[in-house]
Amino acid sequence: MARKIASVADLNALKAKAQGDVDLRSGAKEIVATVHMGTCGIAAGARDVLAEFLASPDVAGRVTLRQTGCLGLCDQEPMMTLLDNSGKKFVYGKLDKHRTREIIREHIVGGRPVARYLIQS
């Protein structure tokens, strides 16, 4: 059961959390991260990838998070595409929450793409 709002402070805390969620999905940031959430992606674990982004404090202010459907490479799911300010696209595949955490740490925070998870086109 959801926690009841008992005070103005509770309401303000709820508002701040909701605003943070909205900010993560909009506005110009350093990177646009798109998690591919087609049926095949969800079945393969894309929700865990999305949840890892939502839980990471390192993406706030840096990443606009989006969701999309299948990219057509079902055998590579779960997948995520990162698009940086220069327009360079990085497509990562066969992800899980641990690999997602590593990509956040190395690529988004450190600026170094994680080559072993990149899908070669």
On whether the 28-117 domain is CATH 3.40.30.10, my answer is: yes
Q: Given a cut of 60, is residue 24 above it in pLDDT?
A: no
Reported pTM:
0.76
Whole-number percent of the chain with pLDDT over 90: 55
- Reported as a pLDDT band with limits 50, 70 and 90, residue 28 is low
DSSP code, position 118: B
pLDDT digits (tens, 9 = 90+) for 63-119: 888 999 988 999 999 999 999 988 999 999 999 999 999 999 999 999 999 999 999
Rounded Cα gap, residues 108 and 96, in angstroms? 16
Burial of 105 (0-12, 13-18, 19+ CB in 10 A): middle
- Spatial separation of the C-alpha atoms in residues 69 and 42, rounded to whole Å: 10
